[in-house]
Amino acid sequence: MRTRSIIVFVFVVIAFISGFVGGVYISQIISFKTVRPVIRESGSPEESTLTYTPPAPPKLQWETIKQVRGLKEMTTPTIDKITNDIYLARGFALGSVQMIITEQGLVIIDSTESIDAAEKILKEFRKITDKPIRYLIYTHGHLDHVQGASVFVKDSPNLKVIATKDCVEFMKKDFVEMKEFHSRSRLNQAGLSALEFSRKLPRESPVHTVCTNDDLIWPTVTFDKKYTFTLGGKRFELYHTAGETPDHLMVWLPKERALFCGDLYYMSFPNLSTPMLEPRPVRQWYESLDHMISLKPVYLIPGHTAAITGEDKVCSVLTNYSAAIRYVYEKTIQCINEGKSVDEAVQTVKLPNNLSKLPYLQEFYGRVDWSVRGIYQGIVGWYDGKGTGLTPLSPAMSAREIVALSGGADKILARAIELQKSGEHHLVCELCDIVIAANPNDKLAHSIKASSLEYLGYTCGNLNMFGFYRSATALEKKASWIKP
């Protein structure tokens, strides 16, 4: 109070002494009184007079999604022999594992998200060689690269685990500090929220159960920018190359010209922004790709999907991948500088034709619109400059006004049912959201929304989006009268 009085006094003195309009103006626009908005209490739930028969569940589009080459590759357990000494195990889980054989032992890169899958992979590797594992390298701290590590440590207890220093920080944040949030958002992304309310997926689904991290293995050798070692005559160069995550590294074998790039490349438009996680370092991502191109690799072995062989092919894929990321980043920055809103930016930034038609830039895993949102929101902060959002009211308050003005929740829901019949599922969800915001207990609104979300999920053709929709559908079913 004392400080506030002093500040008020100072301004009064300024206004008095100066006598300028400016001084008067300052004293007029600054108020030290806090105005508290009045929030009305939620009304009691009304019984609906509508009869609603949910539409037949959408036909399983999984077969269509499976046609996407990347997913097929991801879901078929395969050991690829890249060269006599380099093997890639993919399709056993979401993440892949690579093995490099040297005369003095093995180097393993990444470990999948699953103990079970890592055991299967090691069993396959042991059919090829019985040499001890000397090094395990984490390309980055994502769970689908580190959670299976204990299997390899059990096999070769003296192995060293190499990662960037930032990887340790990343893992601390992911697996310790933000553990509950991260596992919740990942379950949501994988379509595993409120699973008892979800429709069953085919057995060959790539969505694996997210593991617990009791067996987590922490890096024992860490570095900042570059780390090199030689084992059995093979030279390994590790570079800190941010992109998918800030802690990401790549492994380069100069003699073999083999590049292990983790998640800096996979066969899809990259996931530059994950809707429920922190922003990703997008500019560093394409800079890392440019670094990869400069090495002129002959073999490109990613952490997901199949390897690419041939200098020209690898160069052209990496060049286009880098160009696509750079384009989306720079165009989004341009939109921000031009004062466009985030929705206007999403409408503006589309990949040019020569890039969008490429098979490895299809929006099967990442999406351009999500990337624009992620880059935009990661830069501009939370306020849109329109005043209302500075101290927003509870969303329930405006929703109740709209519901009342519309003539009640049933009027809105009747229209939602009509729109659902004509396949306008997104609009259905928006209308249901207004009713739900006004009255979270409106079971009919939850039920109508659940049906539309299920349609959106089963027709979207994007793996992450399918997962998010599947989770949202299950949560809406849980809030409705539908029994599991």
Closest Cα partner for 61 from 352, 469, 393, 478? Answer: 469
Find out whether 280 and 243 touch, Cβ atoms under 8 Å.
yes
As measured in angstroms, the least distance from the Cβ of 163 to Zn ion is 14
Per DSSP (E only), the strands in 177-307 are: 221-223, 226-231, 234-240, 249-253, 258-262, 299-302
As given in the structure block, the two tokens for residue 391 are 């101290």
As measured in angstroms, the least distance from the Cβ of 143 to Zn ion is 8
As measured in angstroms, the least distance from the Cβ of 266 to Zn ion is 8
- Of the candidate spans 135-143, 186-194, 323-331, 419-427, the one that interacts with Zn ion by CB under 5 A turns out to be 135-143
Report the alpha-carbon distance of residue 192 to residue 194 in Å, rounded: 6
Nearer to Zn ion, 371 or 420 (CB): 371
Find out whether 302 and 96 touch, Cβ atoms under 8 Å.
yes
Nearer to Zn ion, 265 or 329 (CB): 265
Nearer to Zn ion, 105 or 206 (CB): 206
Nearer to Zn ion, 147 or 480 (CB): 147
- Of the candidate spans 143-151, 163-171, 183-191, 447-455, the one that interacts with Zn ion by CB under 5 A turns out to be 143-151
Find out whether 168 and 140 touch, Cβ atoms under 8 Å.
no
Number of residues that bind Zn ion (CB under 5 A): 3
Closest Cα partner for 100 from 251, 289, 271, 246? Answer: 251
| Contacts of Zn ion in 74-93 (CB under 5 A) | none
- Of the candidate spans 71-79, 117-125, 139-147, 253-261, the one that interacts with Zn ion by CB under 5 A turns out to be 139-147
As measured in angstroms, the least distance from the Cβ of 96 to Zn ion is 9
Beta bridge mates, 122:
none
Please report, to the nearest 10 degrees, the dihedral formed by the alpha carbons of residues 67, 71, 75, 81 taken in order.
110
Nearer to Zn ion, 144 or 410 (CB): 144
As measured in angstroms, the least distance from the Cβ of 326 to Zn ion is 22
Q: Is 73 in the site for Zn ion (CB under 5 A)?
A: no
Q: What would the x/- binding string for Zn ion be over residues 114 to 133, using CB under 5 A?
A: --------------------
Q: Are strands 258-262 and 299-302 parallel, antiparallel or unpaired?
A: parallel
Nearer to Zn ion, 263 or 442 (CB): 263
Find out whether 125 and 133 touch, Cβ atoms under 8 Å.
no
- Of the candidate spans 101-109, 147-155, 263-271, 359-367, the one that interacts with Zn ion by CB under 5 A turns out to be 263-271
Find out whether 209 and 78 touch, Cβ atoms under 8 Å.
no
Nearer to Zn ion, 144 or 256 (CB): 144
As measured in angstroms, the least distance from the Cβ of 462 to Zn ion is 16
As measured in angstroms, the least distance from the Cβ of 413 to Zn ion is 41
As measured in angstroms, the least distance from the Cβ of 145 to Zn ion is 6
Closest Cα partner for 369 from 384, 349, 399, 397? Answer: 349
- Of the candidate spans 25-33, 49-57, 142-150, 283-291, the one that interacts with Zn ion by CB under 5 A turns out to be 142-150
Specify the DSSP class assigned to residue 97. E
Nearer to Zn ion, 134 or 142 (CB): 142
Report the alpha-carbon distance of residue 357 to residue 430 in Å, rounded: 32
The helix (H) or strand (E) run that includes residue 49 is none
As measured in angstroms, the least distance from the Cβ of 36 to Zn ion is 47
As measured in angstroms, the least distance from the Cβ of 309 to Zn ion is 21
Q: Is 263 in the site for Zn ion (CB under 5 A)?
A: yes
| Contacts of Zn ion in 213-242 (CB under 5 A) | none
Q: Is 256 in the site for Zn ion (CB under 5 A)?
A: no
As given in the structure block, the two tokens for residue 324 are 């696509």
As given in the structure block, the two tokens for residue 117 are 């899958």
Report the alpha-carbon distance of residue 171 to residue 476 in Å, rounded: 32
As measured in angstroms, the least distance from the Cβ of 273 to Zn ion is 15
Output the CA–CA distances (angstroms, integers) from residue 313 to 60, 302, 307, 357, in the order listed. 35, 14, 11, 17
Specify the DSSP class assigned to residue 175. I
The helix (H) or strand (E) run that includes residue 90 is strand 86-90
As measured in angstroms, the least distance from the Cβ of 294 to Zn ion is 24
Q: Which residues contact 402 (CB under 8 A, 6 or more apart)?
A: 434, 438
Nearer to Zn ion, 159 or 264 (CB): 264
- Of the candidate spans 33-41, 151-159, 259-267, 338-346, the one that interacts with Zn ion by CB under 5 A turns out to be 259-267
Nearer to Zn ion, 91 or 105 (CB): 91
Nearer to Zn ion, 144 or 454 (CB): 144
Report the alpha-carbon distance of residue 316 to residue 61 in Å, rounded: 32
- Using only C-alpha atoms, what is the Rg of the chain? 27
Nearer to Zn ion, 142 or 186 (CB): 142
Find out whether 366 and 266 touch, Cβ atoms under 8 Å.
no
Q: According to CB under 5 A, which one of 144, 256, 454, 476 is a site residue for Zn ion?
A: 144
Binding site for Zn ion (CB under 5 A): 142, 144, 263
